[in-house]
Structure 1
Amino acid sequence: MMKGVSRRECLAALLLAPQMTPAWAQVSSPRVAILDWGLTTSVLSLGIVPAGIAEIELYRRWANDFPIPAVVQDVGLRTEPNLEVLATLKPDVILTTPFSEGVRPMIERIAPTRSYATYTPEGQPLNRSIQVLREVAAVLKAEKQAEDVITRAEETFASLRRALDGRPVAPLLLAGFMDSRHTRIYGQESLFGNVLDRLGLQNAWKSPTNFWGFSLVGTHELAPFTDAQLFAIEPVPADAPLTRSGSGLWQSLPFVRAGRVATLPTCWAFGDVSTAVRFARSLTKAILGPEGSHAS
C-alpha cells in the first residue's frame, strides 16, 4: 500500500473508479465485425475498435461496458444483420454466438465467421467468458492485452471479496424486472451468480434455472424469502412494483417491509468478464453503503 494512503481510501478508489477505458487503436489486429454484445465488450476491452457492431443503441442502453467510438458502423440486428452493410465493411472476421446460428451460412459468404458460446451446460459463464476472451484475442492478435484484462479482473474480485469479508450480508436475490408482475431471478449458474461466488456472497435463489441461469417468476413466488435482500438491476420498467407505493402483494413481502430492496446500475446479464467486474464493483458499493464511498 502507498505510504500515506489508508486502506479505506484504497477501497473507495476501487469502487468509484470507472471501468478502465481501452487505449483505442493501440492494437494492430484484423478488421472485425461483431453480432453479440458480450463479444463486443470483450473486443473493446482489448483496445480494439471494431468495424461494425450489432444494435449499437441498444448496447448502450443494456450493456455499455465501454464507450463505442463514433466510427463504428451499426450492422443491424444480432439475429438478422444487414448483409449489405456487413459486406461493405469488408471485415477480415465476423464474431458471433450460437444465438445467431441461423444466419451463419449467409455471413460466412462475407468473411470467415467464428462462433463462441459463453453459456454452456456446465453453468460457469464467468470462467467460460475468460476462455472466450483468450480465444478471441488469439484471432485478433491481442493475447497480451487479454491476459492484462484477466489479471486485473481477478485482482478486482479478490480485493472486493476482502472488502466484504466478515461483513454480515443477507442472502441476495438478483432481479431483472420484466413488468409489474414478473421478474428474472438470477441463479448460481448465471454470470451474476458466478460473481456472487467470487465475492463470497450467498445467492438466495436455489431453485432450478434455465439454460441462461435465470428463472422467470411471479412476484408471489418471492414471498418465502423472508431474510433476503433484493437488488433490482436497471433498467426497471415504470410499472414494476419497485417504483410504486401503496398496498399490494409487493408491499407485503418481508424484505420489502424491512427495506432490504435497492437498485443496481444496468449490467448485461449475458456479458463477459469485464461486465462481471463492473457488476461486482456496483454490488459491493451498494452493500457497503456510505462506507464504500470513503473507505477501505
Structure 2
Amino acid sequence: MSLSTLSPTRRRTPVLVFAAVSATCALALSACGTTATDASAEDGAAKSTSEACADDSGTTSADPVSVKDDTGHTIELDKPASTVVSLEWQYTEDLLSLCVDPAAVADAKGFTTWDTAEKLPEDTADVGTRQEPNVESILSANPDLVIIESTSRDDKIIKALDKQDIPVMAMTGADGEDPIAYMKDTFSTVAEATGRSERADTVLADFDAKVEESKKAIVSADLETKDFVYFDGWVNGSNVALRPFGQGSLLGELGEELGLKNVWTGDVDPAYGLGQTDIEGISKAGDANFFYTGTDDPESEDYVELLKKNDIWSNILAVKDDRTYAFPSGIWTFGGPKSSEQALDAYVEALTK
C-alpha cells in the first residue's frame, strides 16, 4: 500500500479490510508503493534473480502435485503447473522469484510500477484488473493453474473457472497472527504447485540470511530509540488520512524482526494489521521513529506535501529531530521474500546512514 493517493482503478483493497474504512478510502488504500522506482535497486534485484534462474535450469520437479490452498481445497495435477496465471501481485512476484514466468497476470502495468522486487517480462499477457479480471482472457492463456487471492471458493472468478475445469489455487493474502511465516508459507505453496521447492528453499535461505545481517546492522547502529511507526496515507478532500501498519502487518513485523518496537496501539484489522488515523492520531507516537511509503505519483495529490504544511505534523518530535524516513518507491508492502528483503534494506539504510 502506498502513501501516494491513487485512483480507484489503480488500487486494490486487501480481501479483509478494516471495517471502519469508508468505501472511497478503501479503494484508495489498495495499492502499495509509488510510481517512481529506484532504478539501481530494481535492476540489481532483477539481475540477481535472472542469474540465479539461468543457473538452476533442470531443477523443476516432474512429480504429480497435490497441494492444499488456504480455503482447504486440494489441487491435484498430473505434473507441476508451468502455464500459470496470477491474479494478484504477490503471486506474480513469487512466481518470478521461483524462475516461473507467468503466462498472464492481472494488472501488469501496476505490478511493474508498485513491485520492483522482480522484473515482469514485457510481453506478459494482461487479463485485466485484480478486482475484475477477464475470464475469457484468463482462458485464452490456456493455464494449467490460476492463483487468486480469495477467502472463499464461492468467489465468482473461481466458480467461472471451475466450470471450465481450470485448477484454481485460492490464497487469503495475509495472516495477522504471523505475517512473516504466512508470507513464507505462501511462497512455499506456490513453489510446490509449480515444482519449484528446491528454488524456494534457496530464496527463503537468502531471506533468513538477510534478516540476520540486518539485525546486526541495527544493533551496531546503537539507536537512541528503537520505537517506530510505519504508515502510508492518501488525500481525502482537503485532509490527510493515514494508515498505520500495526501489529500483524508484514511491514510492522519485519521491523520488529530487526529488534525494533512497533508502537502503534490503535485498532487494526485482524488479517493485514492495518489501522486508520489522522495527523493528530499519528502524533501520539511522535517520540518514535517514523517510516512511511514515499510518494511520487503524477496522477495523485501528494499527502506527504500536505503533511509538511500541517502545524501538528511540524511539531511532532520525530519531525523536529529529523527522524522521519521515506521508504524507496516501488517496495510492495504485501509481497513475498524479495519485497521483504527490500523492506529490510530500507529499514537499515534509514537508521544507519
On whether the aligned pair clears a TM of 0.5, the verdict is yes
Q: Alignment partner for residue 59 of structure 1, among 86, 101, 111? A: 111
Q: Alignment partner for residue 168 of structure 2, among 96, 99, 113? A: 113
Per-residue CA deviations over 1:204-237 (Å, capped at 9, x if unaligned) read 2122311311111111102222311111213366
Paired residues of 2:151 and 2:171 also in contact (CA < 8 A)? no
Q: What letter is aligned with 2:259?
A: G
Give the structure 1 partner of residue 331 of structure 2. 267
- C-alpha distance 153-275 of structure 1, shift in aligned 2 (>3 A): same
Give the structure 1 partner of residue 288 of structure 2. 228
1:288 and 1:16 map into 2 onto residues whose CA distance is 21
Give the structure 1 partner of residue 84 of structure 2. 32
Is 1:214 the counterpart of 2:271 in the alignment? no
Give the structure 1 partner of residue 130 of structure 2. 78
With 185-194 and 263-272 compared, the bigger mean Cα shift is at 263-272
Is 1:162 the counterpart of 2:199 in the alignment? no
- Normalised to the residue count of structure 1, the TM-score between the two structures is 0.85
Q: What letter is aligned with 2:339?
A: T
Give the structure 1 partner of residue 263 of structure 2. 204
Q: What letter is aligned with 2:157?
A: V
Q: Alignment partner for residue 131 of structure 1, among 185, 199, 223? A: 185
Give the structure 2 partner of residue 250 of structure 1. 313
**Equivalences for residues 167-186 of structure 1 within 5 A:** 167-168=222-223, 169-179=225-235, 180-186=239-245
Q: What letter is aligned with 1:22?
A: S
Give the structure 1 partner of residue 139 of structure 2. 87
Per-residue CA deviations over 1:30-61 (Å, capped at 9, x if unaligned) read 21000011111111100110100100111122
Give the structure 1 partner of residue 32 of structure 2. none
Give the structure 1 partner of residue 344 of structure 2. 280
Give the structure 1 partner of residue 200 of structure 2. 146
Q: Which runs of 5 or more residues in structure 2 are unaligned? A: 1-40, 61-80
Structure 2 counterpart SS, 1:187: coil
Per-residue CA deviations over 1:217-267 (Å, capped at 9, x if unaligned) read 111102222311111213366431446655532222222222221210132
- C-alpha distance 92-47 of structure 1, shift in aligned 2 (>3 A): same
- C-alpha distance 16-141 of structure 1, shift in aligned 2 (>3 A): closer
- C-alpha distance 247-271 of structure 1, shift in aligned 2 (>3 A): closer
Q: Alignment partner for residue 246 of structure 2, among 150, 173, 187? A: 187
Q: Please list every run of at least 4 consecutive aligned residues from structure 1 whose deviation after the TM superposition is greater than 6 angstroms.
A: none
Count the aligned residue pairs: 274
1:34 and 1:65 map into 2 onto residues whose CA distance is 16
Structure 1 counterpart SS, 2:117: coil
Q: What letter is aligned with 1:256?
A: V
- Normalised to the residue count of structure 2, the TM-score between the two structures is 0.72
1:53 and 1:108 map into 2 onto residues whose CA distance is 18
